[in-house]
């Protein structure tokens, strides 16, 4: 499998090179030259396959001969060794719970897969790899957990000061050792822009071996397809595929789902569930993609004003707007609507949503109201305990804190405060 840059200037590379580089030299994102089609037997007999077998068969064509089959099998087993249940909320809506991994967020899947791939690739390399990652919330914790103590790898995480939840901040600032946290006085987009500048800085890349652990990296992005197949495995109406609503920020997650659909996974329609950072909602109305300054919301992991991965969605549909519009809708949900949804779903169905899941639920609810007779699922991307203020005030009770989180909250934060200034960031990396 070869990968080309979405900017169409840099040359094609294999999976190993795409993983190590993170971003193409021409600042584009790597995209597979061929979208492999899933064996029809896997779809028609999906109930008879284990999650590990499904994941292996999905990812193997993308990896090619970059990793031996026995090692790839071990990587896959370690990636998906936790529960990913589909839970019925009401008669027409189910929740795919992606928060049962070590950091209680959907990003555990991609971060665990990528860390193990990169760890394999750098074995025996005398150069130390520096992984750069910008986070609006859950990515930082998942990457910190996935890469913790991986030999030959240093991780630098940039996060917007005051704009992540207390649990998220503890997860990305407390590991220590090879995990370094930079608290940026700015927005997620500022963090992401500094990371992109670093990759484009020849002086820096000549001195440091850099790669990215954001969803721009193919090894982070591609394995997110796994749980869409797991959802279909648990879907009772196999002859009536689901509508899938995905809380969307940087658009890597929903892009992986759309890629899975293009590979042969039965999906009726996708919904990009957005908070007020809704440039894709506007794009679907105007056909003009206009980035804007990110606004802080309760669903902070989605506070992205310029989603990097949307260009990959355009690639999947070959930049044909009618094709995209036929398979993708988008809704914009406010904080007030998020809070009322958390409260109403708890009161009606005794199900606790996190703010991101609430955006996903309400978007799906609105779509199904306009399309009677259809059913669907939304992605519950993080455990509600990560957002105690919004959730507890909405449902009127305290959320039981998992044991792992209780011990985490007693640890001391380790971070360095910097301005949203590239030169300061560069100086930090060089020292």
Q: Tell me the backbone φ, ψ of residue 13, rounded to 5 degrees.
A: -135, 165
The residue length of the chain stands at 431
**HSE of 33, CA atoms in CB hemisphere, 13 A:** 13
> Which residues are CB-neighbours of 160 under 8 A, at least 6 positions away?
136, 184, 186, 187, 188, 190, 191
Beta bridge partners of 378: 95, 245
User: What gap in Å lies between CA 272 and CA 230, rounded to an integer?
Assistant: 20
d(CA 339, CA 297): 11
Enclosing H/E stretch for 206: helix 202-207
23, β-bridge pairs: none
343, 376, 400: which is closest to 95 by C-alpha?
376
Q: Cα–Cα distance between 249 and 14 in angstroms, integer?
A: 28
Contacts of 72 (CB under 8 A, 6+ apart): 56, 59, 60, 63
Closest Cα to residue 302, out of 107, 31, 166, 102?
107
Among 267, 260, 335, smallest CA distance to 296 is for 335
| Cβ neighbours around 193 below 10 Å, total | 17
- Exactly one of 27, 88, 107, 413 is catalytic; name it: 107
Of 51, 87, 163, which is closest to residue 357 (Cα–Cα)? 87
CA distance 110 to 225: 9
In the annotation, is 107 catalytic? yes
Contacts of 206 (CB under 8 A, 6+ apart): none
- Sequence-distant (6+) residues with CB within 8 A of 169 are 159, 413
Q: Is the Cβ–Cβ distance between 355 and 338 less than 8 Å?
A: yes
**Beta strands at 269-274 and 243-247: parallel, antiparallel or unpaired:** parallel
The secondary structure element, H or E, covering residue 286 is helix 279-286
Q: What's the CA gap between 128 and 245, in Å, rounded?
A: 40
- Catalytic residues, by residue number, are 107
């Amino acid at each position: 499998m070869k990968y080309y840059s979405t900017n169409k200037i840099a040359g094609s590379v294999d999976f190993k090179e795409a993983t190590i580089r993170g971003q193409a030299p021409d600042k584009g994102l790597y995209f597979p030259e061929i979208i492999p089609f899933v064996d029809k037997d896997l779809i028609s007999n999906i109930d008879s396959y284990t999650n590990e077998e499904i994941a292996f068969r999905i990812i193997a064509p993308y990896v090619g001969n970059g990793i031996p089959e026995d090692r790839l099998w071990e990587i896959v087993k370690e990636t998906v060794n936790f529960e990913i249940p589909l839970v019925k909320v009401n008669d027409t809506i189910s929740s795919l719970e992606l928060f049962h991994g070590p950091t209680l967020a959907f990003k555990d899947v991609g971060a665990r897969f990528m860390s193990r791939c990169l760890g394999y690739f750098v074995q025996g390399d005398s150069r130390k790899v520096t992984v750069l990652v910008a986070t609006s919330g859950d990515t930082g914790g998942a990457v910190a957990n996935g890469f913790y103590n991986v030999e030959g790898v240093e991780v630098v995480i940039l996060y917007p000061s005051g704009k992540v939840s207390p649990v998220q901040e503890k997860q990305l600032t407390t590991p220590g050792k090879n995990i370094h946290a930079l608290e940026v006085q700015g927005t997620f987009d500022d963090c992401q822009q500094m990371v992109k500048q670093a990759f484009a800085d020849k002086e820096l890349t000549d001195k440091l071996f850099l790669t990215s652990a954001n969803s721009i990296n193919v090894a982070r992005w591609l394995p997110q397809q796994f749980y869409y197949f797991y959802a279909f495995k648990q879907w009772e109406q196999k002859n009536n595929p689901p509508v899938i609503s995905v809380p969307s920020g940087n658009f890597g997650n929903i892009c992986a789902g759309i890629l899975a659909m293009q590979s042969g996974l039965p999906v009726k329609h996708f919904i990009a569930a957005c908070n007020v950072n809704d440039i894709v909602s506007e794009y679907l109305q105007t056909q003009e993609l206009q980035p804007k300054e990110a606004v802080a919301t309760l669903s902070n992991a989605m506070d992205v004003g310029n989603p990097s991965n949307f260009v990959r969605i355009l690639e999947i549909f070959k930049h044909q707007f009618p094709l995209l519009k036929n398979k993708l809708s988008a809704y914009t949900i406010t904080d007030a609507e998020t809070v009322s949804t958390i409260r109403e779903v708890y009161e009606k169905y005794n199900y606790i949503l996190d703010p991101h899941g609430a955006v996903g639920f309400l978007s799906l609810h609105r779509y199904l109201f306009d399309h009677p007779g259809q059913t669907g699922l939304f992605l519950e991307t993080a455990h509600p305990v990560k957002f105690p203020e919004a959730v507890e005030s909405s449902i009127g009770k305290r959320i039981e804190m998992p044991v792992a989180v209780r011990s985490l909250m007693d640890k001391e934060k380790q971070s360095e405060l910097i301005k949203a200034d590239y030169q300061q960031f560069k100086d930090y990396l060089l020292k």
